[in-house]
Amino acid sequence: MDTHCPYCALQCATVLTPGGPHGVDVGPRDFPVNRGGLCRKGWTAPAVLTAPDRLTTPLVREGGRLRPASWEHALSVAAGGIRAAREAGGPDAVAVFGGGGLTNEKAYQLGKFARVALGTSQIDYNGRFCMSSAAAAGLRAFGVDRGLPFPVADLSGAEVVLLAGANPAETMPPLLGHLTGAQLVVLDPRRSATARLALERGGVHLRGTPGSDLAVALGLLHVVFAEGWWDREYAAARTTGLERVRRAAAAWWPERVERVTGVGAAELRRTAALLGRARRDGGGVYVLTGRGVEQHSTGTATVGAFIDLALALGLPGRPGSGYGCLTGQGNGQGGREHGQKSDQLPGYRRLDDPAARAHVASVWGVDPASLPGPGRSATELLDSLGTDGGPRALLVFGSNPVVSAPPAHRVEERLRALDLLVVADVVPSETALLADVVLPVTQWAEEEGTMTNLEGRVLRRRRALPPPGAVRSDLEVLRDLAVRLGQPRERFPADPRAVYDELRAASAGGPADYRGITWERLDAGEALHWPCPGPAHPGTPRLFTDRFAHPDGRARFAAAEYSPAVRTSPAHPLYALIGRVLAQYQSGAQTRRVPELAAAEPEGFVEVHPDTAARAGLADGDRARVVARDGTALATVRVDDTLRPDTVFLPFHFPGEERANLLTEPRLDPVSRMPELKVCAVRLEPLRARGPSGAPESAGAWDFPDARGFPDARELPGAAGRPGAGARDERTGRT
């Protein structure tokens, strides 16, 4: 069975064959993105299908504990709680939180369910924490947002690639196969695996102070303009706003950038020359951004500055060159195109556009006036839960915000304050453990549908196995809830192909137009990238070749002013970088259940320079407190002499007291509403030695079982929750 990997936005092609301990064995397929390769997460993906604690029956909280229930009872409890919340507080008393890993059909139906069946404006998704800054900057510059406006395979012809805040060697290893011939320039405060690779090949590692990326981009722009590397003809013919950017960059001469960021003036000049000379001589040049420059309260401005750099060099729309963003989640691209974002309708239409509302309402068979307006962004939505005027009920599909959303202590507090929490998931995630109703749903190898990868290519996900136990699809769950809330059954079909055909109609004429990307064409193996406005259209693998998506056809420069993302202090003298590691993925709800991956990275850790560790009284292998202004996390020390002495690094994949998002600071990007996820100011403190059980003696504030200790869902009545809970309500803490 041909399908695609369930993890990152590369969506590597795989083939599933019957057999093995998990029902299917996985292998790579020859495909333009992965070219016959897989990373270790892709190779081990079937293990999640048979996770020991796989959810196979609905659960309802009774007497303070989650207990198995019938679907009829679970859905009735959920629908009853939704009705009660709406009667007490109106439609916006119910909220929905989605995920960037949902198929296109699920993302589309979730947005429709929220706005039609619930009538709520309160819907957003975890992609807000991933792509929102790059999307906002891309829309402003180009008039449309697609992660890569060119096929991944185009990178294979690159001469120079600037990777700003991206570490594909760990986050999407198959991508490196396309960069073997390129000179790499890596902007990263850490000596990441990708930075090491760049240096081994004679490239450049720009190692700035965490959160100073915008100043580095302005410094590169300064050199490009001052030393004549910019493309005058391109700027005159295809852009607007150049002079404002030249004035902004004029103040950022390399020596000033060096003082502010630590990136050497010589390195800036060398980088600008590499990019400019390759472009001048006709070589392929790409500027690619990733989470490292995006997940900041200054993320939109920073990405905008790197887009300005690409425009000054004349890259976007030029054959063999360009700018792109390395989208993270599996359906991070499709997930933000079809309506689960708070301000969007299907086809990447704006929710506040009357024409867009009228078109989509006609497809849905409702009055445009009945559709609610834009709601709160993800962080603001989660922060409002259970407050006066905020939602009293929340439905979560495909996300684990207890671990992945910042600030973690506040998110957990607000979830506990709800009258109703409904979670649809495949495993008992940390968020599911707080729920009143848990609904077991299908995962990748058990369902049909479509995904859209980072290059805008629409792909078919195919079913290879029947789901276990009483598991249902998310589409069935949404249909059955909608019917209980008074909607006609036919308005919410559960057949993914029927939903996809409706999605195509709803997207028609929008920026992300899927109308011509039919199920039949995908099954026939056609490579189809949106926009594809008709059945005879070949799709659009490369955007901007003739014009940009603004009415005048020109790209927009966007001058930005620098301010540091985070400031340290005597009480918190270190920068904490928060990111990913090779063996884990997102909140870890899936990968922490894969024995091979859990063995490779079994617990949270903090990388520390040896001098910094010594000053804090710590040694390799010690347990430490990482103390920020608003929270504390526990981690095992890993001494690493390649780190900056003023910087530590933590992965965010781990639960409980090891949640890196306990540390994050409560600031949002003014445009994208991206929270400050990547950097915070901290100090290190030793933790007492481990007790006899191997756990830190001071641990215990968070004692929900994690992926390594949670029982099988069938054992929940006798094993779930805190030991000795009795009739105590584990979500609210009340008895």
Using CA atoms of 656, 657, 659, 661 in order, give the dihedral in degrees to the nearest 10: 120
632-673 pLDDT, tens digit per residue, is 999 999 999 999 999 999 999 999 999 999 999 889 999 999
- Contact status, residue 554 vs residue 143, Cβ threshold 8 Å: no
Distance CA(649)–CA(129), nearest Å, equals 19
The per-residue pLDDT for 702 is 24
What average pLDDT does the segment 111-138 reach? Answer: 96
Instruction: Please tell me the chain's helix, strand, coil percentages from 3-state DSSP, rounded to the nearest 5.
Output: 35, 20, 45
What average pLDDT does the segment 105-127 reach? Answer: 98
Of all helices (H) and strands (E), which one includes residue 425? strand 420-425
605-630 pLDDT, tens digit per residue, is 999 999 999 999 999 999 999 999 99
Quick one: pLDDT band at residue 355, thresholds 50, 70, 90? very high
**Percent of the residues in the chain that have a pLDDT greater than 70, as a whole number:** 93
Distance CA(74)–CA(437), nearest Å, equals 6
347: left (phi over 0), alpha (psi -120 to 50) or beta: left
Superfamily of domain 134-325: Dimethylsulfoxide Reductase, domain 2 (3.40.228.10)
Using CA of residue 489, residue 493, residue 495, residue 497, what is the dihedral sign?
positive
678-696 pLDDT, tens digit per residue, is 999 999 999 965 444 444 4
The per-residue pLDDT for 711 is 30
Nearest to 394 by CA among 406, 404, 383: 383
User: What is the second-level CATH architecture of the domain 2-50?
Assistant: Single Sheet (2.20)
| For residue 266, pLDDT beyond 90 | yes
| For residue 710, pLDDT beyond 50 | no
With 0-12 CB in 10 A as exposed, 13-18 as middle and 19+ as buried, what is 100?
A: buried
The per-residue pLDDT for 718 is 27
Quick one: pLDDT band at residue 723, thresholds 50, 70, 90? very low
Task: Mark out the alpha helices in 609-663 (DSSP H runs).
Answer: 610-615
Quick one: pLDDT band at residue 79, thresholds 50, 70, 90? very high
The per-residue pLDDT for 328 is 84
Quick one: pLDDT band at residue 327, thresholds 50, 70, 90? confident
Kindly report the CATH class assigned to 59-130+331-494.
alpha beta
437-485 pLDDT, tens digit per residue, is 999 999 999 999 999 999 999 999 999 999 999 999 999 999 999 999 9
The per-residue pLDDT for 724 is 26
Nearest to 327 by CA among 8, 579, 13: 8
What pairs with residue 13 in β-bridges? 4
Q: What is the CATH number of domain 574-698?
A: 2.40.40.20
What average pLDDT does the segment 98-110 reach? Answer: 97
The per-residue pLDDT for 90 is 98
**Percent of the residues in the chain that have a pLDDT greater than 90, as a whole number:** 92
pTM for this one?
0.93
| For residue 358, pLDDT beyond 60 | yes
Task: Show the 3-state SS of 433-486.
Answer: HHCCEEEEECCHHHCCEEEECCCCEEEEECCCCCCCCCCECHHHHHHHHHHHCC
What average pLDDT does the segment 336-365 reach? Answer: 96
What is the chain's mean pLDDT, rounded?
93
| For residue 730, pLDDT beyond 50 | no
| Local structure of 610: helix, strand or coil | helix
Domain parsing of the chain, residue ranges: 2-50, 59-130+331-494, 134-325, 574-698
195-231 pLDDT, tens digit per residue, is 999 999 999 999 999 999 999 999 999 999 999 999 9
Nearest to 325 by CA among 141, 489, 470, 480: 141
The per-residue pLDDT for 666 is 85
| For residue 734, pLDDT beyond 90 | no
Between residues 583 and 565, which one has the greater pLDDT? 583
